[in-house]
Amino acid sequence: MQLLKTKILEEGQALSDNILKVDSFLNHRMDPVLMHEMGKEFKRRFQDEKIDVVLTIESSGIGPGVMAALELEVPMIFARKRKSVTLTDDLVTANVYSFTKKEANEIAISNKFINSGDRVLIIDDFLANGQAALGLMEICHKVNATVVGIGIVIEKAFQDGGEKLREQGVRVESLARIEALSLGEITFVEEREGAIHE
Amino acid sequence: MQLLKTKILEEGQALSDNILKVDSFLNHRMDPVLMHEMGKEFKRRFQDEKIDVVLTIESSGIGPGVMAALELEVPMIFARKRKSVTLTDDLVTANVYSFTKKEANEIAISNKFINSGDRVLIIDDFLANGQAALGLMEICHKVNATVVGIGIVIEKAFQDGGEKLREQGVRVESLARIEALSLGEITFVEEREGAIHE
């Protein structure tokens, strides 16, 4: 998605060979117009799929997730990273290890909102080692829902998450795929727009 | 906002005289079309104000916040409840006590994104005792930004948050104001649509 790549080049900061800071438009300050365009692009990429619900994870997935859901005209659910006081019903959970924060979190959704047979599109802001996406897939499998695909805003293609997911036969659509980072430099994977999925 | 009130009556669950569960469309599963309508309604209510940025707080404020920002065509910032690894710049912080969770959280934004003189619209999903809104106002005051107003999806008008904020002269616009809750029963404040602010 060219609009996103341009924004990443203009405002993204490569702080090391691993860390890309995009807090000016994606995961702290949000550019809602760009986010709406991302939602349209996710819809375009998954237009041949029947989708019942979008599943994402708090907090940074909510913006892209709700815009994708708006365009797809389906509900969106965000998994919580810890149990909330008012989330008292039966929960469906998975464990997710965050390499960034070096801690394990339980993620959970209420078992009311994704049903057996539902066709789920998972959306997240970043794909690196794939732990969050795998946790969201685990939740879907626990309730016998089908993961239609995974839509990612920025994939760090130099980490193995994308490969792990695609090896499982999951369709992964990333709006921008980064081949390499180094201090102050961002290189994208060269590709034809929309030709990522397998 | 009649569409919202209807949804609350259809899907909201009054679990006690204090707890209203709206996780089927607002703060766990989200109805993105309704949320978009909320964004339009916030724009309508604050159309006479110049607004530079929307400020909200993770996680449940992000959906309504990003939709308001989309309609207002301004950026949105969400305050984080704890420091993120990649949020390394100078932070502007405030302390917020959660009566629901019985714990104090530091909320923080990067000092890059709200500037002195900026006109800020604060958006949140709930207003009860007003702690979150007061924390967000404190952040604005610390950077010499002006709080144009506070847009709330659901105000528990039987708690004192709304009064505390309005007493300070802040314009508070709530899309639905609840007068009372009791097990299984939800009563709204009777009012003319859009006539809440003072």
Classify residue B193: in a domain, yes or no: no
Look at residue B85 and tell me whether its pLDDT is greater than 70: no
Classify residue A117: in a domain, yes or no: yes
Comparing CA positions, the residue from A66, A135, A63 lying closest to residue A98 is A135
Domain total in chain A: 1
Residue B122 to residues A32, A135, B27, B139, Cα–Cα distance (Å): 16, 33, 17, 11
- Which residue type does B9 have? L
- Whether chain A has a CB inside 8 Å of the CB on B70: the answer is yes
Cβ of B58 within 8 Å of Cβ of A58? The answer is yes
Task: State residue A102's pLDDT score.
Answer: 83
Residue A15, classed as helix, strand or coil, is: coil
Classify residue B98: in a domain, yes or no: yes
Cβ of B35 within 8 Å of Cβ of A75? The answer is no
| A174 DSSP β-pair partners | A152
Residue B86 to residues A61, A120, A158, B178, Cα–Cα distance (Å): 16, 30, 19, 39
Classify residue A194: in a domain, yes or no: no
Classify residue B117: in a domain, yes or no: yes
Classify residue B197: in a domain, yes or no: no
Classify residue A193: in a domain, yes or no: no
Q: What is the mean pLDDT of residues B159-180?
A: 97
Task: State residue A18's pLDDT score.
Answer: 94
CA dihedral of A26, A29, A32, A33, whole degrees rounded to 10: -80
User: In the β-sheet with A146-156, what is the strand arrangement from edge to edge?
Assistant: A185-188, A172-182, A146-156, A119-127, A53-57, A76-79, B29-30
Task: State residue A198's pLDDT score.
Answer: 36
The ipTM assigned to this model is: 0.93
Residue B84 to residues A13, B57, B81, B89, B110, Cα–Cα distance (Å): 16, 14, 9, 10, 11
Classify residue A79: in a domain, yes or no: yes
Task: State residue B87's pLDDT score.
Answer: 53
Burial (CB < 10 A; 0-12, 13-18, 19+), residue B90, is exposed
Angle at B4 between CA B138 and CA A139, to 5 degrees: 80
Look at residue B177 and tell me whether its pLDDT is greater than 50: yes
Contact criterion met (CB below 8 Å) for A117 and A19: no
Task: State residue B82's pLDDT score.
Answer: 74
pLDDT digits (tens, 9 = 90+) for B2-53: 999 999 999 999 999 999 999 999 999 999 999 999 999 999 999 999 999 9
Cβ of B59 within 8 Å of Cβ of A62? The answer is yes
Comparing CA positions, the residue from B188, B195, B184, B133 lying closest to residue B156 is B188
In chain A, % helix, strand, coil (3-state, to 5) comes to 25, 35, 40
- Which residue type does A22 have? V
Cβ of A23 within 8 Å of Cβ of B86? The answer is yes
Pairwise pLDDT comparison (B148 vs A84), residue with the higher score = B148
Say which CATH number the domain at B74 has.
3.40.50.2020
Cβ of B30 within 8 Å of Cβ of A69? The answer is yes
Look at residue B197 and tell me whether its pLDDT is greater than 50: no
Task: State residue A103's pLDDT score.
Answer: 84
Range of the domain at A71: 2-187
| A100: closest CA of chain B, how far (Å) | 7
Q: What is the mean pLDDT of residues B185-191?
A: 92
Chain B partners within 8 Å of A73 (Cβ): 32-33
Chain B partners within 8 Å of A28 (Cβ): 77-78, 80, 84, 87, 109-110, 113
Q: Which of B23, B30, B70 sits opposite A86 (nearest CB)?
A: B23
In order along its 198 residues, chain A shows pLDDT tens digits of 999 999 999 999 999 999 999 999 999 999 999 999 999 999 999 999 999 999 999 999 999 999 999 999 999 999 999 755 555 558 999 999 888 778 888 999 999 999 999 999 999 999 999 999 999 999 999 999 999 999 999 999 999 999 999 999 999 999 999 999 999 999 999 876 554 443
